[in-house]
Structure 1
Amino acid sequence: PLLPLETESVDNLVDSDDEEPTPRQSISREAMCRLNEMRINNQLCDAKIITEDSCFNVHRNIISACSDYFRTLFITTLNPENVTSTSVIGIASTEKMEVIIRYAYLRDINGIMDSNVVGILFISDYFGIHGLINYCIDFIIKHLSSENCVLFWLMSRYRSIPRLMEKSRGYIVENFIHVAVDCKDLLELDIDDFYGIVNDEMLNVKEENVVWECVLRWINYQPEKRKQYLCKLMQAIRLGLLTSSFFMENVKENHYVKNDQETRPIILETMRFLCDLETISVKSSEMKMPAIAVPRLPHEVIFAIGGWSEGAPQSVIETYDTRADRWVRIYHEDPSGPRSYHGTAVIGTKLYCCGGFNGHDYFNTCTRFDAVKKTWREIAPMHNRRCYVSVVSLNGLIYALGGYDGQTRQNTAERYNPRTNQWTMIAPMNFQRSDADACVMNGKIFITGGFNGQECLNTAEYYTPETNTWTLLPPMLTRRSGVSCASHRGIIFVIGGFNGLSRMNTGEKYDPDRRTWTFIKEMFHPRSNFGLEIIDDMILAVGGFNGVVTISHCECYVPEKNEWLEATDMGIVRSALTTNVMRGLLNIRDYTHQARNNLVEERRLRILGLGNDPSESSLFNLNRDMSFELLVGIGAEGADSGSELEE
């Protein structure tokens, strides 16, 4: 067994798939175990580390190799004496010091746990043990929660630990809905820190009433001292995104607001904006969007890749900005050419595109898009050509299931490892499937429906990677080819598709505990060969073929209410596309709607027939209860026949 060298952090222990894997330098664990035994038995030790209640015998060369502090102490030329012992003041924990010394010898981190990780981090920082510092930071990041994130943010800022400070601050912003309720430390923040959080454009809230209610809790924690900051905090809330009823009943009539004259201009501005929305259809002059109504940035975006449109395959890329309810054209298309009926999956900030069809050839080729660098790279081809392939990612690996090679429908499946750039065949499915769809839940891969060359299928099965086996599920209620499926909160949702006679708008869901399928509410639009993704706790259906034309229509399913909402249409009509959610992009701005302060004017121009936005939506309705349809567009009919190769 080999141990990583001191300079390696946890992040570096996983080979990067950016370039060819580089050999990892390492040291022999057997040799280090022998040295550690010698330390314990005080054999050949040449130094002592003395704490307040313990003494540790060590080898100077071993302890100096991983610690800036001890290296300087033992070998500096400024000290004329041959230092063989040192007293460390302020360290009273024998347990923590033993963990640190064991790490120096064995790179062993088993002793790190919730109760001691902060203390070990501080001591490691004092001694300059960079590898252990990284381990401790990674441990804390992994265990961040809505209850402790604010405390770790403040601690890391005080101790000047930039990576932990960035991650904990990001956790607060991304999980603000839970942090606002669970974290008592949030109420302890001073005005500058609290304002900085609620004003952050990356604050991850679907509805601004969450921010307003949090502001009230913060003020109520010390009302006499903090009510003076109400006006400042109200400027951080997107009041124009509240429903009119919530604003009138909970904000305008709030006793702090009514007793604070400084808030009156903000209240009047918001009321004027909400009134303008109601009369937007008769406005003849340009409408300005105030800062209180500019939507925040999303934490995740949907990528729509390729597809079939206007009788030809496409290479178009669009991303969906949920906060602005807008599709954005991305001009970084795959240089290898257009694809339709392909499969895609995401690992981190990289999107893998597998197989497909370009109107002439059935592909086994695969490419990868780096959303941070905005570059495409060809990767190893699959063993088989696969059009109508189902592709998912699980535990850092890509799975390609079934498909059509131009002659036969397949039951074969294969798995790609980005670290080795190799595909490996796995156990075949129980059925031949092309034009099926797959999703991941609870560490297993579920695949539903499809076409076997003779009939549309109502069968479903799941793959268990640990045993390399496929297990059949109870049959679905309807045969579905060109179907889409997604997992959400422990339930498999299977929607749309072709039953052999017509395109469907029906959907059904599978409960693994009860092993039963039940119907859900129908979509507004029948469709097959469309995209389906989970975003903002809703299921978004994108594009497809309705049996007559290819469509760009999008709609969202809300499981809690069992209802569908219209969303903004894509920029072009297309079917046979793929959609994937990508999170954690540092350059998220590059994939969002840029003119965020011009959304109202876009809406007005579309109503007057002067805009070029192709869609109308009620998903991003800032005033649902008063039927205001802010930031929506006029639907466009697709002109393409949307010919589906399978049928």
Structure 2
Amino acid sequence: MLLSGMRESQGTEVSLRTISIQDLRLLVSFAYSGIVRARWPGLLRAAQAALQYQSSSCLDLCQKALARSLSPARCLALLPTAEAPGLERLRGKARHYLLTHLPAVALCPTFPSLPAVCLADLLDSDELHVQEEFEAFVAARRWLAANPETQESDAKALLRCVRFGRMSTRELRKVRAAGLPSPLPADLLHQLMVEAEIPGQERRREPDRALVVIGGDGLTPDMAQRQPSRKVWWARAFRCGMGLVRTVEWGWLPPLPAPGRFRHGAASLAGCELYVCGGQDFYSHSNTLASTLRWDPSQEGWEEMEPLCQARSFFPLVALDGQLYALGGRDNGIALSSVETYNPELNIWRPAPSLPSPCFAHAAAVLEGQIYVSGGCSGTGQYLATLLHYDPTLEKPETLLSPMGVPRAGHVMAAVGGRLYVAGGLGETGDLLSFEAYELKTGSWTHLAPLPSPHVGAASAVLQGELLVLGGYSHRTYALSHLIHAYCPGLGRWLCLGTLPRPRAEMPACILTLPTVQHMSLIPTGHHTKPAG
């Protein structure tokens, strides 16, 4: 307009009557810098402006930033804006947050302003993620108490979205004790409970990505002896039955080559290729492996790639910038400080800068494009509390950070929502249930709700914003675990999601994109009705 010969290009002023000064300044600044400088309310306004004036790149940036910093209050504020065409991705993120954080959302001061149709949609969804169905009733009751003008017919329609038929006897007693807020008639609740289908329709969540569990130390089918596993499972769906019963639908991916392995590393590249390396195929020190395996959807089985430079077990494998990093571990009973990096395009492992000292049974995670390593055992078998930032591009790659509150090994560590979470493992006192989080900005650790049960040598993964801890064993009883516990940072609590097909320990878990596994001809495991325990 200003450079094309139109009349506006001839004048000294241009009048723009349909755009505010703030929106114009924001869009022009973004056009030159590619940056939106704003806090959360400003980001919401920027998204609205970008949508109105069709700045797709600015809108994409704002949606990503808004989705990363959701909270109950922000989600409720976001819903009216996210209904606009063009904000479908942001609306989906907000809805998923509401479905997975309903107890916290119901406590928010702005919760009563949520439209009844939106609340009914949440309560009626199979994907509603609550510890027990009673929490859905509590949310509906709190909304009705804050909106006493609601017609009885509308209240009845809302309460019918609560699945009373899924409730245990204990939950039903709590419902009767709570009752309905006035002025709703007391017999309405009894009528709804009598009308409810028994057993009620289960809630069933199908994640947008696939959780994959690879190999591990397990038991033979007759439970007579331990045996390294070849099995590779992926979780199709998480199901909530009656009361506290939780089950997982599992399917198979192609098994690992015989005889299986445990204490190995695994990682996915771009969410569609799965790499497995190292570990052990039996229980003596001489059974440590160096082989590397690769699987992608175009293959019926696993392809053997270039082996590690050094055999290793008890080590983490992480992916960063399209490369794999195998950090430390143990070989022939000796702790290692060496690090190797794998280039998938060249199919070659190369040495990388070493860790400051030998360690094994440690954990590693990638946060904001950086590798962090925690805990483990030293070469003398001492439990470590260290946390270090490992940068493979530097000659001296390690930077020691604030140590964990508890020395531990055989634990899990994962990055969720800008923090590092460390859970479980083994310490000087035996099984550890302690759970702590590290904040990069402050350099400090915070102790959180402990694990419900021991998970030494467990697998971990981050799925839909939750930290999952799978399997492992108890050092006190040496019993293998089949439980899957999930921690939701927004609720600050652990939930049991169900069980593995069989008890497993010393195995990794990875996340793949759904198209990678959906087309596979998979066989369900049949473990669909086992209580979570």
Deviation digits for residues 403-430 of structure 1 (CA, Å, limit 9, x no counterpart): 2456854211245688999877554224
**SS of residue matched to 1:314:** coil
Kindly indicate whether residue 375 of structure 2 is the aligned counterpart of residue 448 of structure 1. yes
CA-to-partner distance for each residue in 1:209-252, whole Å, 9 max, x for gaps? Answer: 33222212322233133443232222222334556445324445
Give matches, 1:551-566, under 5 Å.
551-554=480-483
Within the alignment, does 1:355 sit opposite 2:278 as a pair?
Answer: yes
Q: 1:329 aligns with which of 250, 273, 284?
A: 250
Q: Match for residue 212 of structure 1? A: 137
Q: Is residue 2:262 matched to residue 1:340?
A: yes
The Cα RMSD (Å) is 5.5
Of residues 106, 117, 122 in structure 2, which corresponds to 1:197? Answer: 122
CA distance in 1, matches of 2:167, 2:246: 16
Distance 2:357 2:51 in 1: 57
Q: Equivalent residue for 2:471?
A: 542
2: CA distance, partners of 1:380 / 1:356: 15
CA distance in 1, matches of 2:146, 2:446: 48
2:425 matches 1:495: yes
1:90 corresponds in structure 2 to 18
For 2:519 and 2:132, locate their aligned partners in 1 and report how far apart those are by CA, in whole Å: 23
> 2:147 — aligned with what?
222
Matches within 5 A, 1:153-192: 153-182=79-108, 184=110, 186-192=111-117
How far, CA to CA, are the matches of 2:323 and 2:422 in structure 1?
A: 21
CA distance in 2, matches of 1:250, 1:141: 34
Bigger helix fraction:
1
Q: How does 1:99-498 map to 2 (within 5 A)?
A: 99-104=26-31, 106=32, 108-110=34-36, 114=40, 116-118=42-44, 120-182=46-108, 184=110, 186-242=111-167, 244-251=169-176, 254-256=179-181, 259=185, 261-268=187-194, 289-291=199-201, 294-297=202-205, 303-309=212-218, 310=220, 311-317=227-233, 319=235, 321=238, 323=240, 325-333=246-254, 338-345=260-267, 353-358=276-281, 362-365=289-292, 367=294, 383-392=309-318, 399-405=325-331, 409-414=335-340, 425-438=351-364, 445-450=372-377, 452=379, 456-465=381-390, 468-469=397-398, 471=400, 483-486=410-413, 492-496=422-426
- Answer yes or no: is the 8 Å Cα contact 1:486–1:494 preserved in 2: no
Q: Secondary structure at the match of 1:412?
A: strand
- Tell which structure's C-alpha radius of gyration is larger: 1
Say if 1:260 and 1:457 are closer, same or farther in 2 by CA, change over 3 A.
same
- Residue-by-residue CA offset, 1:361-390 (whole Å, 9 max, x unaligned): 7235253668xx999888886554433322
Distance 1:404 1:181 in 2: 49
**Residues in 2 aligned to 1:541 and 1:346: alpha-carbon distance in whole angstroms:** 18
Contact 1:306 1:340 in 2 (8 A): yes
Instruction: Report SS of the residue matched to 1:341.
Output: coil
The 3 A distance-change label for structure 1 pair 587 and 167 is farther
What is the Cα deviation at residue 516 of structure 1?
Answer: 11
Quote how far apart the aligned CAs of 1:206 are. Answer: 2.0
**1:339–1:358 Cα contact (<8 Å) kept:** yes
TM-score by length of 2: 0.69
- Asked if the contact 1:219–1:227 (Cα under 8 Å) also holds between the matched residues in 2, the reply is no
* Code of the aligned partner of 1:326: T
Aligned-pair distance for 1:103?
A: 4.5
Query: Does the CA contact (< 8 Å) of 1:437 and 1:447 recur in 2?
Result: yes
CA gap of 1:403–1:116, structure 2 versus 1, over 3 A, is closer
Greater displacement, 215-224 / 467-476: 467-476
Letter in 2 for 1:342: H
d(CA) in 2 for partners of 1:588 and 1:188?
41
Inter-partner Cα distance in structure 1 for 2:452 and 2:210: 22
When residues 336 and 152 of structure 1 are mapped into structure 2, their CA distance, relative to the original with a 3 A threshold, is farther
Structure 2 unaligned blocks of 5 or more: 221-226
Distance 1:150 1:244, change over 3 A: same
Distance 2:119 2:322 in 1: 37
CA distance in 2 between partners of 1:314 and 1:248 (Å)? 46
> 1:188 Cα shift?
2.8
- Partners of 1:375 and 1:154 lie apart in 2 by 48
CA displacement 1:68-123 (0-9 Å, x = unmatched) = xxxxxxxxxxxxxxxxxxx65422x234224434545x353345665555555455
Residue 197 of structure 1, CA deviation: 1.6
Residue aligning to 2:224: none
CA contact (8 A) 1:315 1:339 kept: no
More displaced 10-residue stretch of structure 1: 421-430 or 583-592 = 583-592
Give distance in 1, aligned partners of 2:475 and 2:179: 49
Distance 1:143 1:222, change over 3 A: same
Give the drift of 1:574.
4.0
CA separation of 1:590 and 1:510: change in aligned 2, threshold 3 A: same
Q: CA–CA distance in 2 between the matches of 1:267 and 1:493? A: 40
Change (3 A) 1:188 1:114: same
Shift of 1:342: 0.8
> How far did 1:195 drift?
0.7
* 2:502 paired with 1:572: yes
Question: C-alpha offsets along residues 305-348 of structure 1, whole Å, 9 cap, x if unaligned?
Answer: 21244444413325494745335432123566643221235688
Count of residue pairs brought into register by the alignment:
495
Residue pair 1:550, 1:574 contacting (<8 A) in 2 also: no
Q: Report SS of the residue matched to 2:215.
A: strand
Aligned partners of 2:434 and 2:66: how far apart in 1? 40
- 8 Å CA contact 2:387–2:403 kept in 1: the answer is no
For residues 123 and 506 of structure 2, what CA distance do their matches in structure 1 show? 41
Cα distance, 1:564 vs. partner? 11
**Separation in 1, partners of 2:512, 2:108:** 24
